[in-house]
Amino acid sequence: MKIWRSARVRTALSIVIVALVLLGGLAYASNTYLNPPLTSFYAPPHPLPPGKPGEIIKAEKIQTNYANVQAWRVMYHSRDLRGNDVAVTGLFAAPTSAPPENGFPLLGIAHGTEGLARECAPSLDPWALPPFAQEFFSFPDTVVVPFVQAGYAVTATDYQGLGAAGNSAFLIGSIEAQNVLDSMRAIRSFDAIKLNEDNFVWGHSQGGHSAAFTAQLANEIAPELKLNGIVLAAPAAQLQTLVETVLAPDQPSFLTGVAAMVAASWSQTYDLPLDVVLTPQGKTQVLPLLQECSANAVLGFALAKPSSLYFADPTKTSPWSDTMRLNIAQGVKYAAPVFVAQGAADSVIAPQVTETFVQQLCAAGNAVEFRLYPNASHAQVVSASNADVVAWLNARANNEPAPSNCTAQVTMSPTPTPPPALQSVIFSDGAFTPDASTIAALEKQLPNFLAQQQNQFSAQKSPIAERLTQYKFQYWGEMQNEKRVVVVNAFCTNFDYWKMQRVFVLDGGDCFFNLKYDLDAGTFFDLQVNREA
């Protein structure tokens, strides 16, 4: 999910990290100075006059730094979780050049994670990122401008609660979809931009979650908007899997802040009780995130183990688990074809998670064009896919048949042929003894996992997943935070005693590695590869 909010973040980044270290690794640090100040535009009229979903409340033109791009801030009527009228803000943008005779095609943009505070709204300071910050993620440069300069009018909702006051919409699919579709309704009533009848939706990360729900709920929420295509870039569609990925290893990670943001958002909007999943420390640290942007959340929790915040798994604890199920995008039939972009080097949304969602969309009968971008990270997939996305959108706008590679073997990353049975031994002197079926399931997953971690192994040798028969494997059980974990110890040197006692070597390069396997989650973590002496 998008991490950095504005041009001020990179300067403050080192300050935040140093502060965390100097404070002894405190789990949370407040840095609200990173948030740009709200302007009077973001105050809705009081009382809010009644209006239909998508009816514009006010708009103001803003200066842009790009050729052939004009833009406006806008406030419009939408609906909250309970159907109440609410003011939502966003951005309209369009070419300054004369529109085609029938108008510009429309692209509704669903942005990635910005945070939970009102000051995190992308429309507040959309053109602030200078060139040095673009290596992280630049909302205008990588999202808005390429589409406008390709001839599209763009509407980009801030989402409820960002900009105008309101409860958070973070990873709440029905609100996100409502906000996106109402922004598309709003721009269609905006006289300054001439539009044709084409409607497209694009979303990245959290925005991919939003775009998936927009496609899923479009006929119900806005049946008058006929969608022509949906673009999902590294979508956070499989939300439960994302949260489990954060919690299961119980290791410090920048994604801990994302899980904390989910807790803060849902406790506010769904009124879910925090004390059934969070520790007292977690409650104290999570609620202030409602006043923070994502940089603060991600950096502030980067040194925290999830177990310091969560004492219960929200994916398995009611009512959180019930709410989680409501916000997992469904692989259902959409009213329009789909383009899915995924970075092979994405460490936020695992490629295999997106692959599973693609397979669900295919099974539902959707025409899906799926593209994998080698070496692209979570943020980089946006710019890496831009040219392909524009070409795909243009083809749909020209009524060309939508391509689909659903019938092809959809593989996100190289999947090696399963090797023969590995040379292994199971030790019974640990906290528990793994059974044969557990080890069989573990060894079936191991080649795929190691293929994804190839960059940790020698580039001068053949891929590690193809060399597993050269290794010997020792397995034993440990308990970590009341979870059963299988330790996997691997080495390629032949020790006579290897079936009788554990082998530990401090160097030797990738001839020696170990990792752990979470029995409940069925996932690997904590891969350690030896260095050369």
- Dump pLDDT digits (tens) for 142-159: 789 999 999 999 999 999
Q: Are residues 101 and 19 in the same domain?
A: yes
Q: What is the pLDDT, as a whole number, of residue 7? A: 33
Q: Are residues 66 and 135 in the same domain?
A: yes
Structure confidence at residue 500 as a pLDDT band (50, 70, 90)? confident
Task: Tell me the backbone φ, ψ of residue 27, rounded to 5 degrees.
Answer: -70, -25
What's the total number of domains in the chain?
A: 2
> pLDDT tens-digit profile of 407-456?
764 444 443 344 457 899 988 888 888 888 788 889 988 998 898 888 88
Q: Are residues 388 and 506 in the same domain?
A: no
> pLDDT tens-digit profile of 283-342?
999 999 999 888 777 777 888 888 888 888 898 899 999 999 999 999 999 989 999 999
Q: What is the pLDDT, as a whole number, of residue 28? A: 29
Q: Are residues 387 and 427 in the same domain?
A: no
Domain presence at residue 404: no
Greater confidence (17 vs 262) lies with 262
Domain presence at residue 235: yes
- pLDDT for 245 beyond 60: yes
Residues spanned by the domain of 221: 8-239+326-397
Average pLDDT score over the chain: 85
HSE on the CB side for 145, CA within 13 Å?
14
Q: Are residues 18 and 130 in the same domain?
A: yes
Q: What is the pLDDT, as a whole number, of residue 293? A: 87
Q: Are residues 389 and 470 in the same domain?
A: no
Q: Are residues 222 and 331 in the same domain?
A: yes
Q: Supply the pTM of this predicted model.
A: 0.72
- pLDDT for 246 beyond 90: no
- pLDDT for 483 beyond 50: yes
Inter-residue long-range contacts of 450-455, CB under 8 Å, 24+ positions, other chains counted: 451/413, 451/414, 451/415, 451/416, 452/350, 452/351, 452/352, 452/413, 453/527
Q: What does the block give as tokens for 280?
A: 């007292």
CATH code at position 123: 3.40.50.1820
How far apart CA 461 and CA 457 sit, in angstroms, is: 8
Average pLDDT over residues 16-33: 30
Q: Are residues 94 and 15 in the same domain?
A: yes
Domain presence at residue 290: no
Residue with tokens 């590995």: 422
Q: Are residues 439 and 362 in the same domain?
A: no
Q: Are residues 83 and 25 in the same domain?
A: yes
Structure confidence at residue 127 as a pLDDT band (50, 70, 90)? low
Q: Are residues 136 and 62 in the same domain?
A: yes
